[in-house]
Amino acid sequence: MATCNHHPLHYDVSANAGAAGYKRPSMQQRLAATRPSGRSLRVAKVKSAGPATDEVPADSTFPAPLVLPGDELSFDPRYPPQSLRSWKQLKERNVVTDRRRTIYVGAPPKVAQDVQFVDHWAVPEAVAGAIKAPAFEDIVNYLQAFYHGLPVRVLHARKLCFVDWDDGVRKKLSSESDWARKPRDVALATRSEAIRIRVRKHESFPTQLNLNDLLDVAISILPDDAYALLMIVNHDLYEDEDDDFCCKVSKTATSAALAAHLAHPSPTPGTTQSRRHLELLWLSRVCKTASHELGHCFGIDHCTYYACVMQGTAGLSEDARQPPYVCPVDTAKLLTATGADEMDWLRALLNFCERFGEDALFAAFAAWLRMRLAELGMGYMEE
């Protein structure tokens, strides 16, 4: 992997942050946000590159959000921060219990024989030789590491399948070209019902699916022992008619979430990079999205304290810049929910990342994890 040539490294907000009206919480406020009491003792300022203290990590490990022009915090610089205390007091948050503690992940739905055209909707327009979509098993394995401490299982019991939807008033179209011009609604069938999925044409993909309809399906198939369900879909999504696209959505109260493979368009193979590299790049993007959306199912709001996987995003370029790790504030929430030991959790993530060491994001995340483990005093450094 190539050496980073960026020097010096920047750990603070960008110059745009002040102009946008964003004021980062102070170190005292950030430390207080990690505590159940919401209070902190006065501590000395940590230098930008460390060393960290027992309570305050180095800025080089947990830098500030960039807040570049067009970023989420540039549009909404006063978005309220969510501390550990406010998260624990959140009425909408579902507490993990002995009865409901399993995270389920649903594979992309199958497609019935009479609606095979639905498969074509997942292929981007004017892209030849598209990269193979991320393997479902790899996404599940990443989530098992990210949510270490809770069981993460594949949803086998309720097979989902796209089927024809006939509301009794649909006009008959005479040719395949008619279907191409006017994509018809379909249904997503469970064991007990078929729920209509609205569709629409879009310039980048033959057809987009309505994410609210898909979310209704996810909610309807939640197992009794489920804490949360994440449903992976192959198609591009939209929320309402004003959207160009929407890549992800979740609902805290119902603990259901969606993540779309095509939220992160298949990297174009016509580059100097290998197909394997592009496949891993796509996998890393989907893993970040999946972990973020499940975080919302735990009641974790968008982060405004640090650069963090739980940051809000205003577009794909900002999403690609955001790190895969969890900041100290959201780490406190996540470990409270999962009951995991922090060191075991970090090691589980490191073991996953080392399987895909040739990918830039996973290699960088692995390096970050090793350093974080060392900072926590365990001396877990690669020989």
Position 274 scores a pLDDT of 78
Position 5 scores a pLDDT of 72
Which pair of structure tokens corresponds to residue 263?
A: 């939220």
Q: What are phi and psi of 230, to 5 degrees?
A: -110, 125
Residues in the chain: 383
Position 302 scores a pLDDT of 97
Q: Are 105 and 139 in contact (CB under 8 A)?
A: yes
Position 253 scores a pLDDT of 55
Q: What are phi and psi of 294, to 5 degrees?
A: -65, -30
Residue labelled with tokens 């309720």 = 158
Which pair of structure tokens corresponds to residue 115?
A: 């609606």
Position 176 scores a pLDDT of 46
Residue 17 Ramachandran class (φ > 0 left, ψ -120 to 50 alpha, else beta)? alpha
**What residues in the chain have per-residue pLDDT under 70?**
1-4, 6, 41-55, 125-130, 157-158, 167-183, 202-205, 241-254, 261-273, 378-383
For residues 109 and 186, give the distance between their C-alpha atoms in angstroms, rounded to a whole number.
12
List the beta bridge partners of residue 10.
none
Residue labelled with tokens 């479902």 = 136
CA 289 distance to own-chain centroid: 2
Sequence ranges of the domains in the chain: 94-300
Position 279 scores a pLDDT of 86
How many Cα neighbours within 13 Å face the side chain of 258? 27
Position 165 scores a pLDDT of 86
Which pair of structure tokens corresponds to residue 202?
A: 């879009």
Q: What are phi and psi of 102, to 5 degrees?
A: -95, 135
**CA distance from start to end of the chain:** 18
Position 299 scores a pLDDT of 94
Position 185 scores a pLDDT of 81
Position 208 scores a pLDDT of 84
Quick check: pTM over 0.85? yes
Position 157 scores a pLDDT of 61
* Overall fold of domain 94-300: Collagenase (Catalytic Domain) (3.40.390)
